[in-house]
Amino acid sequence: MSEQTQITDQNEYQDCWQAVRHNNENGLYRLYHAEYDRFYRFGILSAKDPVLVKSAINSTFVNLWAKRHTLPDVENVRGYLFIWFKRQLFQDIRQQASSNSRISSTEPTATLLTESSYEDALVNHELDELRRALIRKAMSCLTERQRSFIQLRFFEELSFEEIAEQSNTSIRTVYNTIHTAINRLRQELGDTPLLVAWLAMMQNW
């Protein structure tokens, strides 16, 4: 990646965002290359389908450009872009699942799942449900403030300073609250692949 496409601080993100809003394609190009790897890492954990993930990334920035004249003036550009990408990714995942379901329902009997593969599918489905249940249970053990700070820090990607300002508290309190929440999640989930995957989505911790 050339130095011209690298973005090193929040001011540059703001400059690129304003450039997009004012019809400058170079701003979009720089944001795309700055965020691509981060979006891909998150996407592959969620979808495990490289083609779908890459398509979702591309669609995110295509849609961003299409709506450039109505984009708001945001402070946290990276967080805003990440929300756009997650929405696009999960929409694509749902559409793919729906499409696969329709295709399966119209296939001849001879091409339907074998008994063995059907059992495997059931097991995988039950495992996914179990993982979701475990994560929901672990998150329910956190306080409302802990859940809120986790959301702001790791999914909206606010800095500790921004969370402190938004919640009218000190930076130290924010840090301690998140640290305590992570430890509680470790107690609930243990050092399992589930926890590793969940923590892997948390950028810049």
Look at residue 148 and tell me if it is in a domain. Answer: yes
In terms of Cα–Cα distance, which of 172, 142, 145 is closest to 160? 172
Look at residue 37 and tell me if it is in a domain. Answer: yes
pLDDT in tens, 98-121: 666 554 444 444 444 444 444 444
Question: What number of CA atoms fall less than 13 Å from residue 19's CA on the CB side?
Answer: 14
* Same domain membership, residue 57 and residue 14: yes
Q: How far is CA 14 from CA 60, 99, 174, in A?
A: 18, 38, 25
Q: How far is CA 39 from CA 50, 83, 161, 197, in A?
A: 11, 10, 24, 15
Q: Global pTM?
A: 0.52
* Same domain membership, residue 89 and residue 127: no
Report pLDDT for 81: 92
* Same domain membership, residue 121 and residue 90: no
Report pLDDT for 193: 52
Helix spans in the chain (H): 10-21, 25-47, 50-66, 77-106, 115-140, 144-150, 160-167, 171-189, 193-200
Which CATH number do you get for residue 172?
1.10.10.10
Residue 183: Cβ within 10 Å count:
10
Look at residue 109 and tell me if it is in a domain. Answer: no
- Cα separation, 157 vs 78, in Å, equals 7
Residue 54 has phi, psi (to 5 degrees) of -65, -40
Residues of the chain with confidence (pLDDT) below 50: 1-3, 103-125, 127, 196, 200-205
* Same domain membership, residue 86 and residue 21: yes
Number of domains in the chain: 2
Look at residue 108 and tell me if it is in a domain. Answer: no
Report pLDDT for 99: 65
Tokens encoding 8? 């090193």
Give the range of the structural domain holding residue 63, as residue numbers without chain letter.
Answer: 10-96
